[in-house]
Amino acid sequence: MGDTESLEALGQALAAAGWRAVPRYDEIPVRLRVFHPTLPVVGETVNVTSERTGPWFRSSTGRPLARCDDLPRAVAAIDQLLGRFLPAREPITEGALTR
C-alpha cells in the first residue's frame, strides 16, 4: 500500500470516529489534515514515513503515531493529541474502535 492509500484508509477510519480528514495529496510529501468539525482551527497534519519496521504515520512535529497497518492505534493517537482541545467528552480508545 502506498502513502496515498495509507492516508486514505486513515482518513476513513478517522471519519468513522468523528474526525474530519482533508487530503493534501497535491503536496510533497502527501499529507492528511485532521481536525474536529466543531473546532476546525485546531488540527494535526499527518504524513507517512518509511522506517525499518515499515511505513508509519507521523504527526507534523515528527511524533510517530502508529504503523500504517494499525489504524485503530493511529486513530487513538490522533484522539489523544487533539481530543484535549475539545469540550469534555469520552475519549476514543483502541478498544472502542474494534467493537
> Along the chain (99 residues), what's the average pLDDT of each consecutive run of 10 residues?
94 95 94 92 94 95 96 96 78 50
Query: What whole-number distance in Å separates Cα of residue 64 and Cα of residue 77?
Result: 9
* Paired residues of 46 in beta bridges: 32
> Domain span at residue 75?
3-97
Alpha-helical segments (H) within 17-70: none
* Per-residue confidence (pLDDT) for residue 72, from 0 to 100: 97
For the chain, how long is the longest CA-to-CA vector?
Answer: 38
CA-based R_g, the chain, Å: 13
Number of domains in the chain: 1
Query: What whole-number distance in Å separates Cα of residue 95 and Cα of residue 60?
Result: 26
* Per-residue confidence (pLDDT) for residue 96, from 0 to 100: 47
